[in-house]
């Protein structure tokens, strides 16, 4: 199926052939001496008709009109294929007899204009081209394209009009289909909100479809139709990205050009555009020439994306806050609220785990239990707030002076317990003695008072003093009470003596 461009190419070839025949015919007619420029008879024209015979092998029609009377002097037989009339039915008729009045007047006006040009410059052979609707014998009409020129005699006086007409019905149909297709595409783009652009990269001219101008708030024709003017509308932060993407496409690094950017509207605002296009033409030396593409307004999508992004940030922030809260709640579940040390619940879980690991790895595990001496007297003398300050200070002392793997817990009341994984008994006793001395030398400020306190310590170790959590804590508890009974403010180690079950606290705590 031929395209419009292919048909035009074929017409060009046919015109070249016809021009050769017309030139030969015209040359012979130029050499004829016509007396007083009177009407040229058909007998003379017939002498040269064989030059036109080559035209009869095409669908084109060659004809001659007398310039004064506008009467048809000669027409090639191919006219019958074109319009239905035989050659003899047309020769001798005037233009007004061959075409409708309106068309005849139009032809007359064109010929008059051509005669004026010829008269102004007799040595120049003027020609013209026109498309007309001419009647056919069956009562219909036919679109024809006609090329014509004035022929002069040897005195350089115009006396004939020579022309070639061809049927352009097929071309008109092709053009109609193309126009319909273009109109459908144009309407579809207008309805979709997309705009079409066409750039000449060499001249930097740029054409926009009116739909895109409307989106930006401009009237048709208001936008500067240049690439430079277009680039000026793009947000400064986005220009480099757009130019990089165009270059990547021109250099063959991408199959199509695609870029998202902000573009300024007539009122000074900004809209987001998705620009897509393709290079479709290069110069003879390979330089990029023409690009065509579309603009899509994606402002609503971008606004939604920003809103969604903010919502996601907010959601992630809330999730982080929830996780932090969960962590705090988990910590609070295993922490003593007063001292911040681990509570009895966490101790029970951890002691079971550490004993199992010591048994599995064959490593030592020591337990230090301590109790503040005379804590009841301190509470009675200075109040529970003073007692709380002592407990918190002791907890901070343990927190600052224990290893990462050690576990310091508030066991209950004024009692504390410290698990020392992988630490043998003698080392655990040294640690306990160090803590005792630190506490003894520490003074607590409470209001106008400077308070001091001591503590008694009991130490036990796996597996010497017990092989279960209960055995170890019971042994450390017995060693603690032994220290209390021995005068307080001291460290005692549970030696393999029978476990003594003590009820109540030693006198004075």
**Same domain membership, residue 462 and residue 375:** yes
pLDDT at 373 over 70: yes
Q: Does any domain span residue 382?
A: yes
Query: CA 136, CA 224: separation in Å to the nearest integer?
Result: 49
Between 44-58, 96-110, 363-377, 403-417, the lowest mean confidence (pLDDT) is in 44-58
pLDDT recorded at residue 26: 44
**How much helix, strand and coil, in percent to the nearest 5, is found in the chain?**
50, 25, 25
**Same domain membership, residue 474 and residue 392:** yes
The residue-averaged pLDDT of 60-79 equals 88
Q: Does any domain span residue 306?
A: no
pLDDT at 372 over 90: yes
Q: Which residue has the tokens 């337990």?
A: 367
Q: Does any domain span residue 338?
A: no
- pLDDT band at residue 498 using 50, 70 and 90 as cut-offs: very low
pLDDT recorded at residue 478: 95
Query: CA 88, CA 40: separation in Å to the nearest integer?
Result: 17
Distances (CA, A) of 494 to 417, 431, 479, 502: 15, 15, 5, 14
Q: Copy the structure tokens of residue 55.
A: 């035209």
The tally of CA atoms less than 13 A away on the side-chain side of residue 153 is 14
- pLDDT band at residue 192 using 50, 70 and 90 as cut-offs: low
Query: CA 74, CA 46: separation in Å to the nearest integer?
Result: 8
- pLDDT band at residue 122 using 50, 70 and 90 as cut-offs: confident
125 vs 146: which has the higher pLDDT: 146
**Same domain membership, residue 14 and residue 158:** yes
End-to-end CA gap in the chain? 111
Query: CA 101, CA 3: separation in Å to the nearest integer?
Result: 34
Looking at the 3D structure of the chain, how many domains does it have? 3
pLDDT recorded at residue 38: 38
State which of 264, 279, 297 marks the end of a domain: 297
**Same domain membership, residue 223 and residue 164:** no
Name the percent of the chain lying above pLDDT 70. 82
Q: Does any domain span residue 179?
A: no
pLDDT at 260 over 80: yes
148 CA to centre of own chain: 57
Virtual CA dihedral for 416, 421, 422, 426, nearest 10 degrees? 0
Between 3-12, 68-77, 176-185, 383-392, the lowest mean confidence (pLDDT) is in 3-12
pLDDT at 191 over 80: no
Contact 222, 325 (CB under 8 A): no
pLDDT recorded at residue 241: 94
- pLDDT band at residue 44 using 50, 70 and 90 as cut-offs: very low
Distances (CA, A) of 200 to 211, 286, 476: 20, 14, 92
DSSP state of 57: G
φ, ψ for residue 444 (rounded to 5)?
-105, 130
Q: Does any domain span residue 87?
A: yes
The residue-averaged pLDDT of 184-204 equals 76
- Of the candidates 345, 342, 347, the one whose C-alpha atom is nearest the C-alpha of residue 331 is 342
pLDDT recorded at residue 53: 56
pLDDT at 60 over 50: yes
Q: Copy the structure tokens of residue 25.
A: 């015919």
Note the pLDDT tens digit of each residue in 399-433.
999 999 999 999 999 999 999 999 999 999 999 99
**Same domain membership, residue 167 and residue 199:** no
- pLDDT band at residue 502 using 50, 70 and 90 as cut-offs: very low
Q: Does any domain span residue 53?
A: yes
Query: CA 355, CA 172: separation in Å to the nearest integer?
Result: 99
pLDDT recorded at residue 32: 39
**Same domain membership, residue 165 and residue 66:** yes
Which structural domain, as residue segments, surrounds residue 68? Answer: 4-171
334 CA to centre of own chain: 50
**Same domain membership, residue 161 and residue 203:** no
Note the pLDDT tens digit of each residue in 470-497.
999 999 999 999 999 999 999 999 974 4
Q: Does any domain span residue 502?
A: no
pLDDT recorded at residue 8: 47
**Same domain membership, residue 218 and residue 167:** no
**Same domain membership, residue 87 and residue 150:** yes
pLDDT recorded at residue 185: 62
Note the pLDDT tens digit of each residue in 95-120.
888 888 888 888 888 888 877 877 77
Contact 384, 375 (CB under 8 A): no
pLDDT recorded at residue 328: 82
- pLDDT band at residue 263 using 50, 70 and 90 as cut-offs: very high
Q: Does any domain span residue 210?
A: yes
Helix boundaries (H) for 31-131: 42-47, 79-83, 87-90, 95-98, 101-120
12 vs 394: which has the higher pLDDT: 394
- Of the candidates 474, 337, 460, the one whose C-alpha atom is nearest the C-alpha of residue 345 is 337
State which of 281, 297, 313 marks the end of a domain: 297
pLDDT recorded at residue 448: 85
Domain harbouring 34, CATH code: 3.30.450.20
- Bridge partners of 160, per DSSP, are 66, 151
Contact 402, 418 (CB under 8 A): yes
The residue-averaged pLDDT of 196-218 equals 85
pLDDT at 137 over 80: yes
Note the pLDDT tens digit of each residue in 221-236.
888 889 999 999 999 9
Quick check: pTM over 0.75? no
**Same domain membership, residue 23 and residue 78:** yes
- pLDDT band at residue 18 using 50, 70 and 90 as cut-offs: low
φ, ψ for residue 257 (rounded to 5)?
-90, 135
- Of the candidates 367, 440, 426, 427, the one whose C-alpha atom is nearest the C-alpha of residue 397 is 440
Please state whether beta strands 491-493 and 455-462 pair in parallel, antiparallel, or not at all (unpaired): parallel
pLDDT at 128 over 70: yes
* 55: number of Cβ within 10 Å: 23
**Same domain membership, residue 197 and residue 166:** no
The residue-averaged pLDDT of 380-396 equals 92
**Same domain membership, residue 19 and residue 113:** yes
DSSP-derived 3-state class of residue 188: helix
The residue-averaged pLDDT of 33-47 equals 42
pLDDT recorded at residue 112: 82
Contact 494, 475 (CB under 8 A): yes
Q: Copy the structure tokens of residue 370.
A: 């301590």
Query: CA 387, CA 381: separation in Å to the nearest integer?
Result: 10
What mean pLDDT is reported for the chain? 83
| Full strand arrangement of the beta sheet holding 61-66 | 72-75, 61-66, 158-167, 141-152, 127-135
Name the percent of the chain lying above pLDDT 90. 45
486 vs 188: which has the higher pLDDT: 486
pLDDT at 1 over 50: no
């Amino acid at each position: 199926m031929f395209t419009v461009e292919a048909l035009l190419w074929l017409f060009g070839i046919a015109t070249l052939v016809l021009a050769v025949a017309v030139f030969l015919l015209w040359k012979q007619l130029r050499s004829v001496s016509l007396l007083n420029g009177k009407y040229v008879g058909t007998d003379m024209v017939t002498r040269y008709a064989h030059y036109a015979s080559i035209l009869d092998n095409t669908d084109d029609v060659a004809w001659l009109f007398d310039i004064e009377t506008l009467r048809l002097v000669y027409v090639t037989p191919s006219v019958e294929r074109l319009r239905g009339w035989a050659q003899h039915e047309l020769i001798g008729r005037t233009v007004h007899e061959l075409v409708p009045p309106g068309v005849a007047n139009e032809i007359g006006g064109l010929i008059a204009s051509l005669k004026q040009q010829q008269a102004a410059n007799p040595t120049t052979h003027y020609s013209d081209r026109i498309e007309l609707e001419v009647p056919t014998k069956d009562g219909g009409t036919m679109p024809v394209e006609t090329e014509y020129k004035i022929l002069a005699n040897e005195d350089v006086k115009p006396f004939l009009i020579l022309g070639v007409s061809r049927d352009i019905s097929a071309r008109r149909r092709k053009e109609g289909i193309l126009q319909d297709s273009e109109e459908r595409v144009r309407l579809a783009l207008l309805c979709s909100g997309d705009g079409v652009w066409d750039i000449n990269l060499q001249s930097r001219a740029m054409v926009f479809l009116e739909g895109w101008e409307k989106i930006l708030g401009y009237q048709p024709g208001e936008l500067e139709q240049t690439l430079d003017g277009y680039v000026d509308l793009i947000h400064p932060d986005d220009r480099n990205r757009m130019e990089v993407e165009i270059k990547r496409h021109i250099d063959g690094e991408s199959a199509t050009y695609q870029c998202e950017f902000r573009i300024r509207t007539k009122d000074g605002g900004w809209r987001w555009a998705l620009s897509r296009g393709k290079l479709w033409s290069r110069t003879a030396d390979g330089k990029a020439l023409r690009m065509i593409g579309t603009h899509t307004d994606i402002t609503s999508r971008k606004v939604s994306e920003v809103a969604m992004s903010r919502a996601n940030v907010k959601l992630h922030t809330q999730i982080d806050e929830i996780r932090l809260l969960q962590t705090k709640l988990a910590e609070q579940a295993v922490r003593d609220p007063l001292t911040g040390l681990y509570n009895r619940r966490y101790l029970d879980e951890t002691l079971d785990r550490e004993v199992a690991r010591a048994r599995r790895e064959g490593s030592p595990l020591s337990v230090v239990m301590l109790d503040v001496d005379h804590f009841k007297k301190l509470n009675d003398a200075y109040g529970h707030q003073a007692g709380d300050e002592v407990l918190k200070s002791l907890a901070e002392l343990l927190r600052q002076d224990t290893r990462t793997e050690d576990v310091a817990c508030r066991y209950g009341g004024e009692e504390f317990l410290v698990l020392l994984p992988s630490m043998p008994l003698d080392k655990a006793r040294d640690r306990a003695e160090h803590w005792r001395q630190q506490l003894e030398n520490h003074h607590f400020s409470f209001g106008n008072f400077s308070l001091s306190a001591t503590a008694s310590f009991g130490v036990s170790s796996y597996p010497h003093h017990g092989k279960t959590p209960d055995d170890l804590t019971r042994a450390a508890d017995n060693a603690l009470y032994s220290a209390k009974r021995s005068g307080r403010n001291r460290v005692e180690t549970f030696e393999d003596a029978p476990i003594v079950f003590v009820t109540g606290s030693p006198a004075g705590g």
